[in-house]
Amino acid sequence: MTYADDFTIGSEQELVTLIETVGFVPFFENEIAGFSLEEHIAPGCWYYDGDDGFWPAWEWKGPVIREARCAYGKFLRGKAMYISAKMFPDFANYRRDGYDFDARFDDGLASYQDRDLFELLDANAPVLSKQLKKIGGYGKNGRKGFDASLARLQKQCYVITGDFRYAVDKAGERYGWGVAQYTTPERFFGKKFRETVYKRTPEESYERVVKQLRKVLPGATKEQIEKILR
């Protein structure tokens, strides 16, 4: 399967299969035509305008992450993307430039602000952003820069979304939007990820990622692919 094929995604399981087959599934439309769930979603599965109205593709996020054991986060120019367990170690190695977080900080490539948030998250993962802000003293009258640091840590693949959680009313019924529960790839994927993420050089990992994207995006140029990976 490639993104040039005529297909639609109408269920959680179909999305799981797509992630495992192509490796990279952006949630929203982007610079490369056809390269997103949004553009391949079946009618009624992006937004269902029924009696109550609901957003199936949003509701699928948690179950799909759990079923596919895939990475999910703001990896694509600040927008969300699913990445398969097979492709994520190479993607993470490239984005991390071969550094674990401690080494990145020791070499002066990460700020104290990012280090503090990473260490706080790592110590409490899996954790909701609301809980993380409270523990770390972030907020209107507290520490600043939470969202910016979290975005950088996701782009660098030190942090991913491991699930989505919902508020529950007195009757035990969930309500509202699912809230991201953050973790680290090392905690989410475990030993296998830790043993493979730095197996190759960052340059070798980058070429493997580009090769896979060129395979599943036959209509995209190498320049387009390289641009979205920056």
Q: What was the pLDDT predicted at 54? A: 65
The answer to the question of residue 156 being in a domain is: yes
Q: Rounded to two decimals, what is the model's pTM?
A: 0.93
Cis amide prior to 89 (ω within 30 degrees) = no
Q: What was the pLDDT predicted at 55? A: 81
The answer to the question of residue 230 being in a domain is: no
Q: What is the number of structural domains in the chain?
A: 1
* DSSP track, 118-184: HHHHHHH-SEEHHHHHHHHTBSTTSB--HHHHHHHHHHTTS-EEEEEEEEE-TTS-EEEEEEEEEE-
**Residues 206 and 24: beta-carbon distance below 8 Å:** no
Q: Which domain holds residue 133?
A: 12-225
Q: How far is the C-alpha of 42 from the C-alpha of 116, rounded, in Å?
A: 42
Q: What was the pLDDT predicted at 39? A: 97
The answer to the question of residue 2 being in a domain is: no
The answer to the question of residue 44 being in a domain is: yes
The HSE-up count of residue 82 (CA atoms within 13 Å, CB side) is: 32
The answer to the question of residue 4 being in a domain is: no
Q: Give bridge partners of residue 41 from the DSSP assignment.
A: 9
Q: How many residues does the chain have?
A: 230
* pLDDT by residue, tens only, the chain of 230 residues: 999 999 999 999 999 999 999 999 999 999 999 999 999 999 989 976 555 556 899 999 999 999 999 999 999 999 999 999 999 999 999 999 999 999 999 999 999 999 999 999 999 999 999 999 999 999 888 899 999 999 999 999 999 999 998 777 666 676 667 889 999 999 999 999 999 999 999 999 999 999 999 999 999 999 999 999 99
The answer to the question of residue 111 being in a domain is: yes
